Amino acid sequence: MKSVPKVIPPIHGDLMAVQRGLAAAKIMARNLTAEHKRWQMPLLTWKQGQVIKVRVSGR
- The pLDDT value recorded for residue 58 is 65
Q: How far is CA 46 from the centre of its chain?
A: 15
- The pLDDT value recorded for residue 30 is 94
pLDDT tens per residue, range 1-59: 677 777 666 655 677 888 999 999 999 999 998 998 899 888 888 899 999 999 887 65
Instruction: Output the pTM of the full model.
Output: 0.55
- The pLDDT value recorded for residue 50 is 92
Domain residue spans of the chain = 11-56
- The pLDDT value recorded for residue 28 is 96
SS (H, E, C) 23-43: HHHHHHHHHHHHHHHHHCCEE
